[in-house]
Amino acid sequence: GDSVTQMEGPVTLSEEAFLTINCTYTATGYPSLFWYVQYPGEGLQLLLKATKADDKGSNKGFEATYRKETTSFHLEKGSVQVSDSAVYFCALSERNFGNEKLTFGTGTRLTIIP
Amino acid sequence: NAGVTQTPKFQVLKTGQSMTLQCAQDMNHEYMSWYRQDPGMGLRLIHYSVGAGITDQGEVPNGYNVSRSTTEDFPLRLLSAAPSQTSVYFCASSSLSGYEAFFGQGTRLTVV
């Protein structure tokens, strides 16, 4: 079955540091890939997405590129801020639309210190 | 715009008790899902629905029932709560034509 393997946390960085959170996946078809973010006390919010190989998703300074050859979707940000502190989830869906069945990674807790 | 609303936000149950977690969405989304979030395990799919009257099992369905009588509502029922069901539960909805799943704020359930 489908699976997502995500970099273990927690991750602690200083403000303005470079961020990478690794994510690799296993899927039978050609999945869509997502990064969701969970701020304290809240539900998950979509951060960015990519629906086919070599697509780059981007939002709020975060980027991730769909790499079919390495089955990866690593999340990056050039300069993190305290407000980026949250839990980040990599996820996949076997379909492009109507994502009622998402497969999630275990989540990576990110803490940014001033 | 309320989005996805879950109630209650917190609940403590005794082993063997039953309860229903409520989920409602006002976006007219066809798809709705229930996930549980456990430390070190991410979110796992419990049940999902692709429309009113249609439900199916996810990865971890045992001990839970669902029904979908309207487009808006998708309640999750625990018939006889067990300590292993202590978790944070999230409801989500998505459109047939969209990429994004919208999540509620979650229900933190403790079974003692």
Distances, alpha carbon B1 to alpha carbons B10, B12, B25, in Å: 23, 29, 10
pLDDT score recorded for residue A66: 97
Out of A41, A43, A100, whose CB is closest to B33? A100
Going from the first residue of chain A to its last (114 residues), give the mean pLDDT of each consecutive group of 10, the final group possibly shorter: 88 97 92 94 92 95 96 97 96 74 93 96
Contact predicate A91/A102, CB 8 Å: yes
Is the pLDDT at B46 greater than 80? The verdict is yes
| CA–CA distance, A11 with A108 (Å, rounded to integer) | 7
Average pLDDT over every residue of B28-38: 94
pLDDT in tens, B94-105: 988 777 899 999
Return mean pLDDT, chain B. Answer: 94
Q: Is A114 on the interface with B (CB under 8 A)?
A: no
Question: What residues in A contact B92, CB-CB < 8 Å?
Answer: 44, 100, 102
Contact B95 A105 (CB under 8 A): no
Question: Torsion-angle region of residue B59: left (phi > 0), alpha (psi -120 to 50) or beta?
Answer: alpha
- SS3 assignment, position A57: strand
pLDDT score recorded for residue A96: 56
Q: Is B42 on the interface with A (CB under 8 A)?
A: yes
Distances, alpha carbon B81 to alpha carbons B11, B15, B45, B66, B110, in Å: 12, 5, 18, 15, 9
Q: Chain centroid to CA B55: how far?
A: 12
pLDDT score recorded for residue A29: 81
Contact A97 B42 (CB under 8 A): no
Contact predicate B15/B112, CB 8 Å: yes
pLDDT score recorded for residue A8: 80
Question: Torsion-angle region of residue B53: left (phi > 0), alpha (psi -120 to 50) or beta?
Answer: left
Which token pair is B86? 């202590």
pLDDT score recorded for residue B106: 94
Question: What residues in B contact A104, CB-CB < 8 Å?
Answer: 35, 42-44
Which token pair is B18? 């039953």
Contact B95 A49 (CB under 8 A): no
Contact predicate B26/B32, CB 8 Å: no
pLDDT score recorded for residue B38: 93
